[in-house]
């Protein structure tokens, strides 16, 4: 039997898993990666720490693997998107990695909007002008960080999203590439030509920036031995952004199939076929995935704060000590008229509002912490509902099925409330590490271990299918009240 080693480098940590060609997991490893918040709205990570987390996760995974390491024949990588990493020719980072969550470029975004760049950026890249995307972070760094500015002027600044950074390090600087999905999140990539857009680079003042070579998600990206953890180098044959990888792993391989990743943030992505669709209703147009033989596009709705909201109540406010207590509160209480607007870093699709921070609204003297805890979880569901509504309108394709992945799918109460709010069934697969599974599926395809992506998906059983229940009416009333609060922002 032959295996694929899949790396899933996420915001909070790195997973390493060994998959066989049928998508079964044979070993796992995990290492946490911290974020820092040096100023209000600033979110950073140590690029070297991200790389070291990969090595540690892989080492743990290989130690637990009971098979023969020589049967691991390829590597697939999925990664957190939009995070900006800059490094020099020696592979040394130029400052901290700027997280996708970082809001430092809000002023840059306002300036670009005032300059009338919105329609051009949307037409070329499929994206909205927003701090979420890499391009605005790069503009801010070039204008405000002397180290970055001098390297760009000297054409010695290597830019990459996390996939490119890992690849550069894993190949000892031998390969400098990215895939189409990660490139499509930078605001520098033209969806129609599948190439870097030089006109935008000039408009952004980034002509001196070094950019990675572009390739489909399933391609030959060089080889690595993970700094000696393997006895010999093996080929890296897939790289893909984590939300796109999840779409592949969930089987969103034809128009109308969608997935929602419920993690720190959330990404809802619907396959729309072989042609890009214009962004509308706060959605963005993006790549779904790409192989040498096909390119699938998607519409995506971005939720900035999902699981991070109840985590904030626990870790920063001390509202409860254990998530299990908060989850019991969801079951035992209604929301008591309380709503939590999780605008810690703004509200994403379809509203895209920045009211200056999160808000707890509707409080009165009869409320307790349990109402606030429930409101935090409800806010995740309402944001998903808002995205699904505009996604169906924009794609003019009815949602065929919504697959869920991410840590929050382990909360049955949340799945039921989501099914009630959407008034349609939701499903989860038995495998939880779905982004890694998508990267592994693409790697298996590139290696010839499977004939098609469909063959991999049919092997993955549905773990849970939740139908709408008796709470549909109450959920609809609550969602309507949520929208009224959003409109007041």
Check whether 397 has a pLDDT greater than 80: no
Q: What is the pLDDT of residues 177-204, one digit of tens each?
A: 999 999 999 999 999 999 999 999 999 9
Q: What is the pLDDT of residue 460?
A: 65
| Neighbour count for residue 337 (Cβ, 10 Å) | 15
Alpha helices in 65-145 (DSSP H): 106-114, 118-125, 134-144
pLDDT, residue 280, reads 83
Scan for tokens 């709205």, then name that residue: 41
Section 43-67 average pLDDT: 96
Q: How confident is the model at residue 312 (pLDDT cuts 50, 70, 90)?
A: very high
Peptide bond into 284 cis (omega under 30): no
pLDDT at residue 458, as a whole number: 64
pLDDT band, very low/low/confident/very high, at 453 (cuts 50, 70, 90) = confident
pLDDT at 251: 86
Q: What is the pLDDT of residues 68-116, one digit of tens each?
A: 999 999 999 999 999 999 999 899 999 999 999 899 999 999 999 999 9
Cα separation, 298 vs 382, in Å, equals 22
What residue spans define the domains of the chain?
Answer: 3-243, 253-488
CB 237 within 8 A of CB 224: no
Task: Give the model confidence (pLDDT) of 324-352 as tens digits.
Answer: 999 899 999 999 999 999 999 888 889 88
- Residue 97, beta-bridge partner list: 45
What is the CATH code of the structural domain delimited by 3-243? 3.30.420.40
CA atoms of 226 and 392, how far apart (whole Å): 43
Tens digit of pLDDT for each residue in 114-163? Answer: 999 999 999 999 998 989 899 999 999 999 999 999 999 999 999 999 99
**So what's the pLDDT on residue 281?**
85
3-state secondary structure of 95: coil
pLDDT at site 457: 67
What integer is the mean pLDDT of 303-318? Answer: 93
Helix (H, G, I), strand (E, B) or coil at 268: strand
Average pLDDT estimate for 274-287: 88
Q: For residue 422, what are its two tokens? A: 């959407």
Residue 392, Cβ density class (10 Å: 0-12 exposed, 13-18 middle, ≥19 buried) = middle
Fold of 253-488: Nucleotidyltransferase; domain 5 (3.30.420)
Residues 6+ apart with CB under 8 A from 99: 11, 35, 43, 44, 45, 80, 83
Model confidence band, residue 356 (pLDDT cutoffs 50, 70, 90): confident
Give the mean model confidence (pLDDT) for residues 198-226. Answer: 97
- Please state, rounded to an integer, the average pLDDT across all residues of the chain: 92
Calpha distance 264→25 (Å, rounded): 24
Q: Do domains 3-243 and 253-488 have the same CATH topology?
A: yes
Q: What's the CA gap between 174 and 168, in Å, rounded?
A: 7
Question: Mind listing the pLDDT tens digit for each residue in 243-278?
Answer: 899 899 988 888 888 898 888 888 899 898 888 888
Which are the contacts of 150, defined by CB distance < 8 A and separation ≥ 6? none
| pLDDT at residue 452 is higher than 90 | no
Which range of 320-324, 389-393, 410-414 scores highest in mean pLDDT? It is 320-324
């Amino acid at each position: 039997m032959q295996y694929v080693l899949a790396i899933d480098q996420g915001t909070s940590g790195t997973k390493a898993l060994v998959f066989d060609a049928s998508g079964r997991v044979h070993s796992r490893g995990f290492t946490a990666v911290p974020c820092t918040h040096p100023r209000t709205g600033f979110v950073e990570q140590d690029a070297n720490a991200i790389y070291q987390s990969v090595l540690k996760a892989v080492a743990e995974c290989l130690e637990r693997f009971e098979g023969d390491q020589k049967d691991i024949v390829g590597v697939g990588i999925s990664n957190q998107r939009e995070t900006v990493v800059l490094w020099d020719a020696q592979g040394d980072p130029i400052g901290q990695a700027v997280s996708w969550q970082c809001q430092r470029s809000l002023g840059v975004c306002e300036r670009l909007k005032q300059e009338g760049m919105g329609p051009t950026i949307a037409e070329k890249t499929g994206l909205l002008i927003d701090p979420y995307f890499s391009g605005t972070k790069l503009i801010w760094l070039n204008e405000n960080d002397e180290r970055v500015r001098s390297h760009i002027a000297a054409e010695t600044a290597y830019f990459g999203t996390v996939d490119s950074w890992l690849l550069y390090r894993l190949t000892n600087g031998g390969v400098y590439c990215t895939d189409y999905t990660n490139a499509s999140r930078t605001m520098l990539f033209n969806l129609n030509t599948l190439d870097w857009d030089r006109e935008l680079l000039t408009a952004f003042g980034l002509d001196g920036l070094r950019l990675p070579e572009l390739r489909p998600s399933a391609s030959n990206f060089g080889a690595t031995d993970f700094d000696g953890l393997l006895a010999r180098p093996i080929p890296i044959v897939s790289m893909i952004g984590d939300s796109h990888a999840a779409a592949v792993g969930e089987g969103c391989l034809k128009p109308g199939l969608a997935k929602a990743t419920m993690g720190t943030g959330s990404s809802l992505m619907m396959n729309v076929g072989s042609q890009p669709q214009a962004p509308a209703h706060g959605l963005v147009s993006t790549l779904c995935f790409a192989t040498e033989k096909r390119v699938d596009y998607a519409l995506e709705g971005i939720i900035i704060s999902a699981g991070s909201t109840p985590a904030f109540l626990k870790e920063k406010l001390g509202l409860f000590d254990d998530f299990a207590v908060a989850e019991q509160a969801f079951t035992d209480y209604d929301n008591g008229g309380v709503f939590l607007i999780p605008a810690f870093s703004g509200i994403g699709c379809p509203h895209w509002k920045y009211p200056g921070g999160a808000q707890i609204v509707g409080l009165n003297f009869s409320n307790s912490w349990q109402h606030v805890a429930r409101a935090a979880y409800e806010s995740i569901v309402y944001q998903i509902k808002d995205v699904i509504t505009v996604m169906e309108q924009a794609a003019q394709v009815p949602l065929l099925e919504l697959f869920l992945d991410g840590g929050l799918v382990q909360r049955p109460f949340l799945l039921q409330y989501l099914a009630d709010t959407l008034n349609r069934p939701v499903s989860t697969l038995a495998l939880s590490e779905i982004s890694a599974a998508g990267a592994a599926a693409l790697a298996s395809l590139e290696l010839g271990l499977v004939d098609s992506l469909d063959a991999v998906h049919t092997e993955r059983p549905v773990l849970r299918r939740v139908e709408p229940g008796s709470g549909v009416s109450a959920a609809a009333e609550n969602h309507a009240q949520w929208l009224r609060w959003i409109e007041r922002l």
